[in-house]
Structure 1
Amino acid sequence: MTISNDQDSRPRRRYAPRLPPERRRAQLLDAAFEVLARDELHELSMEAVARAAGVGKPVLYTVFRTRSDLVAALLTREREDAIKQVRETMPTDLRDLGPTAAYAATVSAFVRIVLENPTRWRLILAMPESAPREYREDLRISRAGILAEAETLARAGISLEPRLAGLDPALLAQTMLSFAEMLGRLAVTDPEIYTSDRLSQFANAFIATIARPVPQTDAES
């Protein structure tokens, strides 16, 4: 007579393979980012992240003690990567293309990176209402840094292009940055209507139009 053991028939619990702390952290943040691609920030749950990572919740809680810790870490990573991407699109020398062409190329490159990673850029350009106050402040500081670099470029452009003479470099920088942000916001909120080609073509045409010399009247000539 064989005595059955009920415990032997139970499915064995699957354990996540051990990973170094940094790799585990990156894995969990990648999983949270994956969840965020289909859910809003306020809907992001520890259960969903653990499931996407293929680990149990205890593993998740050993890295991030609370949901707030997880959200803060994810937002920090995406903000830092976004700022790095922006800086990579900004020209270092305006003399090759000229100020107008360089700015048009920068805006087109910016729209392209936004559409390549809409999940990240929704967090930047269409900041969720549930975003923590600390994130909002960090984003404000990061934008101020980009704006300062844009003003430096604006001053260089004004010095190179006689048609820009007389423009306020600080206001020109604000205008350039706000214009790029507006196009990026359209790209992430309604990508089927505002495609990369449509936005880039508009940016090129608009910049060329406003940079065109104003024809002189008979009284001025």
Structure 2
Amino acid sequence: MSATSTPADPGRTRQPRMPIEVRREQVLDVALKLIVEKGYAAATMEAVAREADLAKPRVYSAYPGRGPLLRALLEREERRVVATLAEAMPSFTEDADFAETLTAAAVNLLRAVSEYPVSWRLLMLPADDTPPEVREHVSAGRRFALEQLRALLVWGSGRRGGLGGVDLELTVRALSAVGEQAVRLVLTEPTEFTPERYGDFARTLLRALAS
């Protein structure tokens, strides 16, 4: 080694090069962690690079700035949440019972929330410094949830006579509000408010209303 050369920092382990798609996912995961733990203001390009133990140019090669990074993160988490909503909805089969189908949808959704709380926290528990773009993505997810719930109630109205005279739109909105509150409680108080507890509650309530 020449007298003018600088030895590598022995305390820093350089990460191997990886495909850009993998790098982008890594950067998004780190940004999500920072936002959930410290708020949106903490998710700067410098902070992401430091948390991921990456050189800043590698972070910028994945996303050219904080704005594109946050947009990509929100779009990814919205896709995950929407996919969860779609998967939670049971099939509307001819021999299915309406009450059990509605209960299964609620339990499936809340179990998914328990399994992937970080994604749901980003969209359902926005911080005070939440950018306007986040609220737009929350609205998109809410619209999809309303569509799924509306389809379930339309199917159920043909199978359960008591639903025929109920205002469909008000029922959809009321159940959506109850569902959003359930998601928040599962996220913030998971030990006390479990998917199974909500499932038992839904079955009991629906039996009482049918009697």
TM range (shorter): 0.7 to 0.9
Residue segments in structure 1 that go unaligned for 5+ positions in a row: 214-221
- On the 8 A contact 1:36/1:119 being kept in 2, the answer is no
CA distance in 1, matches of 2:39, 2:202: 30
CA distance in 2, matches of 1:122, 1:95: 36
Residue segments in structure 2 that go unaligned for 5+ positions in a row: none
1:217 aligns with: none
CA distance in 2, matches of 1:56, 1:192: 40
1:181 aligns with: 180
CA distance in 1, matches of 2:7, 2:81: 50
Q: Percent identity?
A: 30
1:28 aligns with: 27
Q: In 2 relative to 1, CA 129–197 (structure 1 residues): closer, same or farther, beyond 3 Å?
A: same
1:73-109 residue CA offsets vs partner (Å, 9 max, x unmatched): 1111101110111011112315333111100111011
SS at match of 2:191: coil
1:163-205 residue CA offsets vs partner (Å, 9 max, x unmatched): 3221122222222222221111111122233233333322332
Deviates more, 1:93-102 or 1:55-64: 93-102
CA distance in 1, matches of 2:172, 2:208: 18
How far off is 1:14 after superposition?
4.9
2:49 aligns with: 50
CA distance in 1, matches of 2:135, 2:148: 20
How far off is 1:72 after superposition?
1.9
TM-score (norm 2): 0.86
How far off is 1:15 after superposition?
4.0
Deviates more, 1:85-94 or 1:187-196: 187-196
Q: In 2 relative to 1, CA 184–208 (structure 1 residues): closer, same or farther, beyond 3 Å?
A: farther
SS at match of 1:78: helix
CA distance in 2, matches of 1:117, 1:59: 28
1:30-109 pair list within 5 angstroms? 30-109=29-108
2:195 aligns with: 196
1:164 aligns with: 163
SS at match of 2:127: coil
Residue identity matched to 1:46: M
Tell me if 1:123 matches 2:142: no
Residue identity matched to 1:73: A
Aligned to 2:5, which of 7, 10, 13? 7
CA distance in 2, matches of 1:145, 1:169: 16
Larger radius of gyration: 1
- On the 8 A contact 1:91/1:106 being kept in 2, the answer is yes
Q: In 2 relative to 1, CA 42–96 (structure 1 residues): closer, same or farther, beyond 3 Å?
A: farther
SS at match of 2:70: helix
CA distance in 1, matches of 2:160, 2:7: 79
RMSD of Structure 2 on Structure 1 (CA): 2.4
CA distance in 2, matches of 1:58, 1:118: 31
SS at match of 2:5: helix
Aligned residues between the structures: 210
Q: In 2 relative to 1, CA 52–155 (structure 1 residues): closer, same or farther, beyond 3 Å?
A: same
